[in-house]
Amino acid sequence: MGIEGRTLLLIGDEEELRLGLRSHCRGWDVRLEEARTGTEGLTKAQLVTPETAVVDLVLPDMDGRDVLRQIQCWASPMPVIMLSILGDSRLVVEVMRLGAWDFLTKPVNWEQMQESVRGAMAGRLGDPSHRQKPYDPDGGGEAEGWREGLWIGEKMRRISKLVDQLANTDATVLIRGETGVGKELVALALHRRSWRRGRPHAKVNCAALPGELVESELFGYERGAFTGAHQRKPGRFEQVDGGTIVLDEVGEMPLSTQGKLLQVLQHGEFTPLGGRGSLRVDVRVIACTNQDLERALEVGTFRKDLYYRLNVIKIWIPPLRERRDEIPVLAKYFFDKFTRRYHYPDAVGISLALMEHFLTYDWPGNVRELENVIKRIVVLGEEAGVLEDLARRPQPEIAGPSVDSRHSLVPLKELARQAAMQAERALIQGVLTEERWNRMKAARRLGISYKALLYKMRASGISPKP
């Protein structure tokens, strides 16, 4: 069931959101109605009867949750997609329990928005394949990718232990690695495992915003600070006071903004654009980059004093080609995830031939590329095109260790079998450790019987006690 010609109501006054949704609705052939305030939105919803509403959590006249509560009291409530810059798990759970169809974070991922709007409208129009989805705190949403529990390889286990050591400190952390390795998920784990986990959390992609907007996004502005600044707008640092902010692609931050960030790191204060006084905040800063910051220092695009402030503790996320033992488990996780999302319960699993190719392919796009490949397999329902496409893709020469040369002496089927066994063993050990070696609990978490767990432990050489 398509969404073409249907009506979507946006309740929110943020100009960037309004412009973005207008543009995408034209592409989706969806009629967009807009309201700047909660009161206006509730009135307009009664007049135009939209199929779905997108509601910003922060509105000029009321809390977005109050709008949701009122809609839920109607005889035939429409699905509501809530938006917020905050990804705090308590907030998400509260909103979903109030009856929201979905919860998305800003900046908006427009692919997720389209998928959510499509599902909400189909559910409203009676398509049985789209049902109200329960909130899954370990699923997509803010932590799109693989869950913390799937850090099953030796290298990622070491990183997980380091995250545990750092979580409850206020040390600034710089997370480095190639595009798609999962830097943002390590940053999220640092927040979720810390004493700040119940407090606000936000991510700002410094590369996704025009240079002149990064400063106002981070530090906000006062009324009259520039043409069009009709009211005061708090920045992300003020909004997440007491929590954590993740600065993604920090190497792309303009030099003019780097000075203000340095002030926050040194003194815990900043001055909004057009402001006369400083604001004090208590925010933990986690920075991520795939850039060569040392080269940026040489050419003068990154401040040395900021570099040394950010680089207090560095976490390097290895590329997927150096973590091949994780590929079978990650592939299965993504396959199960997308078969649930797109309602393909009868989808056939990944063939041995394709898994063999996965284990020898260098994955220049890392985990994100693997996820997208699995998504394509599930949506199209066939592997042949994917195999041909991967075979045609250039394998870039990337510095760093790759597959061990002795693998060339091992048959591909044996390599796949060994990798799967190693991944399964690491997963079982990880769950047993987390459950303090309570095998009954571990079996339940793994979704297997107690006897099956004992058999797998013996087959993998795992002792009954650590």
How confident is the model over 46-75, as pLDDT tens digits?
777 899 999 999 998 888 988 888 787 665
- CA–CA distance from 189 to each of 98, 106, 170, 183, 303 (Å)? 26, 19, 14, 10, 28
Is there a domain that residue 1 lies in?
Answer: no
Q: Within this chain, do residues 168 and 282 fall inside the same structural domain, yes or no?
A: yes
If asked whether residues 295 and 160 sit together in one domain, one would say yes
Mean of the per-residue pLDDT values for the chain? 81
Nearest to 124 by CA among 98, 103, 105, 102: 102
133: which DSSP letter? P
Q: Which residue has the higher pLDDT, 22 or 349?
A: 22
Q: pLDDT tens for residues 112-150?
A: 899 889 888 876 654 444 434 433 333 333 343 344 445
Question: Residue with structure tokens 């796949």?
Answer: 416
The residues near 302 (Cβ < 8 Å, ≥ 6 apart) are 251, 255, 258, 293, 296
> How many residues are there in the chain?
466
Averaged pLDDT for residues 282-301 = 94
Distance CA 57, CA 106 (A): 11
Q: pLDDT tens digits for 445-463?
A: 777 778 778 878 887 778 7
Please state, for a pLDDT cut of 90, what percent of the chain lies above it.
32
Mean pLDDT of 383-391: 78
Which amino acid is located at 394 in the chain?
Answer: P
Query: Would you call the peptide bond into 107 cis, given omega within 30 degrees of 0 as the criterion?
Result: yes
What local confidence, expressed as pLDDT, does residue 421 receive?
67
Q: Residue 26 corresponds to which tokens in the numbers above?
A: 């034209």
> What is the pLDDT, as a whole number, of residue 465?
62
Asked if the structure places residue 212 within a domain, the reply is: yes
Together in a domain, 234 and 371: no
Range of the domain at 75: 7-141
My answer on whether 307 and 167 are in the same domain is yes
- Please say whether the dihedral angle defined by the alpha carbons of residues 79, 123, 18 and 145, taken in this order, is positive or negative: positive
Least confident of 76-90, 177-191, 194-208: 76-90
Give yes or no for residue 187 having a pLDDT over 90: yes
Stated pTM of the model: 0.57
Strand partners, 10: 34, 54
| CATH number of 302's domain | 3.40.50.300
Sign of CA dihedral 290, 294, 296, 302: positive
**Bigger pLDDT: 44 vs 236:** 236
Please tell me the predicted confidence (pLDDT) of residue 83: 94
Average pLDDT of span 250-268: 93
120, 160: one domain: no
3-class SS at 247? Answer: strand
Residues 104 and 219 in one domain: no
Considering the domain architecture, whether residues 267 and 364 belong to the same structural domain is answered as no
Structure-derived torsion over alpha carbons of residues 443, 153, 393, 340, reported in degrees to the nearest 10: 30
